[in-house]
Amino acid sequence: METRRALARWLEFAVDAYGGDLPVRAPGSIVVRQPVPETEPEPERVPTSAADAGAGTPEGEAAPAAAAPTPAAAEPARAAEAPADAAAGLAALAARLADCTRCKLHAGRTQVVFGEGNPRARVMFIGEAPGFHEDQQGRPFVGPAGQLLDRIITGGMGLRREYVYIANVNKCRPPNNRDPEPDEVAACLPFLREQVRLIRPEVIVCLGRVASSNLLGTTLHMRALRGRALTYEGIPVVVTWHPAYLLRNPAAKRETWEDIKRVNRLLGLPEQPARPASAREDASSQPPAPGAGAEA
């Protein structure tokens, strides 16, 4: 017994001498711990968001404790991430492309088809390249395929064309409407990526194989891409059939309808809109300013 007591006293001495913040168990289940101060400093909290880190708080003031993250907190913050003036950025980009000679397609075009729509659009449609009517008018999707796309936007989503943004991978018409060749895509794809960066839509809809394979950098076929949870730079991507394909294969319209319902769910819209919207309810979908999405 005396041996145990002596050992316990020795352990107390060691704890006092060397900093006993860890428990030391002596024989006979005797626990020796250095007294803990009544108030311990709180551990440094790792920020989980910009608000949590103190963004927007006056210098020198502590940021309020953040609530537990919610699913909405993980979504892109459009106001924080989008450029201050997307319309001006798009207009400047269109001006750079007005006389583009970066690939051989410039030799046979009538005009560059840059893209058009709302610079703050919540959804962006991307096709492959202009056709005859687009080349003549300088606007994307204005021929028969474009008219079908308009019906998809209004009838399937309850939106108007001016509230979305529409662009192509290539801005010049390939001869005889052939697929753009790799060198032509390589020359033009950076400008499409810049359009996406400026607009920062909540959802991207890729229309057809050429658009989806080049934007996503994949060789998978349409059947393998449709219905999959895909993203580009953190933005959800929905792959569906090109309207020109639907004109040749009307039976595929049912699959496109399912894809559009998925787009609606991602946007928080009804799967089956009652009627086309006369105006967007949020500021991010106001009609485009004059010159936005400029036709070159």
Residue 242 has pLDDT above 50, yes or no: yes
Averaged pLDDT score across all residues of the chain: 76
**Looking at residue 272, what is its pLDDT?**
87
Match 């474009």 to its residue by tokens: 146
Helix 182-199 to helix 86-97 angle (10° resolution) is 160
**Looking at residue 273, what is its pLDDT?**
86
Contacts of residue 267, Cβ cutoff 8 Å, sequence gap at least 6: 122, 123, 157, 202, 203
Higher pLDDT among residues 279 and 131, named by residue: 131
Distance CA 261, CA 272 (A): 7
Domains of the chain in start order, with CATH, are 81-285 (3.40.470.10)
Burial class (CB in 10 A: 0-12, 13-18, 19+), 231: exposed
* Top mean-pLDDT range of 60-74, 216-230, 268-282: 216-230
CA distance to 59, 130, 143, per residue, from 174 (Å): 56, 8, 16
**Looking at residue 7, what is its pLDDT?**
53
Confidence of residue 225 (pLDDT cuts 50, 70, 90): very high
Residue 252's SS3 state is helix
Higher pLDDT among residues 278 and 198, named by residue: 198
Burial class (CB in 10 A: 0-12, 13-18, 19+), 250: exposed
Task: Tell me how many degrees the CA angle 5-11-13 measures, rounded to the nearest 5.
Answer: 105
Provide mean pLDDT across the span 102-125: 97
**Looking at residue 95, what is its pLDDT?**
96
Residue 276 has pLDDT above 60, yes or no: no
**Looking at residue 12, what is its pLDDT?**
57
Match 């009517």 to its residue by tokens: 133
Are 207 and 127 in contact by the 8 Å Cβ rule? The answer is yes
Instruction: Dump pLDDT digits (tens) for 50-61.
Output: 333 333 333 333
Sequence-ordered strand ranges (E) for 88-197: 116-117, 123-127, 165-168
Instruction: Dump pLDDT digits (tens) for 148-205.
Output: 999 999 999 999 999 999 999 999 999 999 999 999 999 999 999 999 999 999 999 9
Instruction: Dump pLDDT digits (tens) for 80-109.
Output: 444 558 999 999 999 999 999 999 999 999
Are 143 and 129 in contact by the 8 Å Cβ rule? The answer is no
Report which secondary-structure segment, H or E, holds 152.
none
Confidence of residue 26 (pLDDT cuts 50, 70, 90): very low
Confidence of residue 248 (pLDDT cuts 50, 70, 90): very high
